Structure 1
């Protein structure tokens, strides 16, 4: 049994995952993204406390942490773009110090999108592909790569971080410091922001979120449909560029925005045909993630499983 944390801009999720990759216990808290570092860590501790009340906690062999990035897997630190109070935050040290964690259990840090990639390649939509891009499209946009059949996290754990490549050189400034990033055009918050800016108004009593935009898009609202089309176009440009660079065979997309289904994937595939024009990129397949919201947790557990018997602090996930 392995424990897993999945930390994002919207929620902090925890799970117990068995050797077959099945989630057998859960806990979750909202992410206090505007709170202090201590408040944020308090939410993480609360998730761990709830997991520790599960009988399965007593037999865990490892703990994996998937976090929004950038991450520094060597230092065990995180600097999520959407969590301002955490800049170089020593998350591994803080989790290791939690009173419910057993001696000898060494937390393993991995980027959330790399975790999703590990899970989808192990059990999901990228299974059987030697070269794949997996993306999380949610509050932010992240990604991870499988190359030559192996997870490729890179030296710091951030390889494949597609959300912060630019697809619009004159685009809006991104919190990361660049302009025109994919995240600023295709994340859930970006979809809602774009819809509002174009004149869309959410139904009375409904929040202005990507999920609400999706509800109106399904009813045929032109402004809501246009917001999803713009997001799909940005994703298509980034996927085609990645395919041109490293010759992937499939792009797998998960996260909350992917739950919109055909509202996202139909225009995405159409735009991809316009961008993926070179012979070796044409025909690049796009698939929805098979593991849905559990991919980050399963991937974090997979990282812990791989390294459960490797000693030493701040271990790196060996891409081999």
Structure 2
């Protein structure tokens, strides 16, 4: 039974200690109450990051926002907020940094002499279609710049706000410049509301796959993360549902709770699913060599032990049963010239 004192719409119920802080302040329990989201404009010098992780397939990523309102308790990006002096807990969900100059920085990146185009992942860290995007429209502007320069983009999101930008996605798809990955860790709406409280509903995500597919935008699905004892029994039903909706491929990751993600998730699971919290945490430990986290390249995605092997085998079955014969297209880099093509300016 869920803790009745939980603050709705927040994955984290408290701010956890920033591992870089020398001094900490621990307020009394009664001081914890809903926090209003605040936005701070920041001014990065670059927006495109080179991805150097050995076990990740993308070469570049870019993130128009730092922090994420979606409130997923398991989010691997939470510890990045600590580098800004904030907490990986409530701060990560409620103190959002906004990079309004991102479109200009992207255009500058495209104009670099000798730039060799390769698909850029949007976002890769925090969600580019989180609720803040309705107000700031930075992701939309980044897509328009990419269309103007005919540069390929992969999108990954948990939010059906992506459908707002179909007028840009469709011409990009016609030139093989775009793909969309939707993250769907569960189809159980009760679990979804608790696990990722400000994301789109599972039903709406499936509908978004249908609409994108009907408009010839290739869709990939990330079943991520798989949480043993909580969502792992849904894997095959998720794969069937997303395949029926039109998804061409899928990926998945096993949950891992590195650094300050661990206390956020532990408190979340104990508050929301107290009857199975101990079981879930022990199952995660069984995949992570007795720990809740894993940082080693490749190992962080494969895990170890019988539970991890069972999950991998389930997805092998799902791939053969629901995705055999489907093929995900490689995005084109051939149209990029380093100069802007005159398109209809959709955000001027």
TM-score, normalised to structure 1, is 0.36
TM-score, normalised to structure 2, is 0.34
Indicate the structure with greater strand content: 1
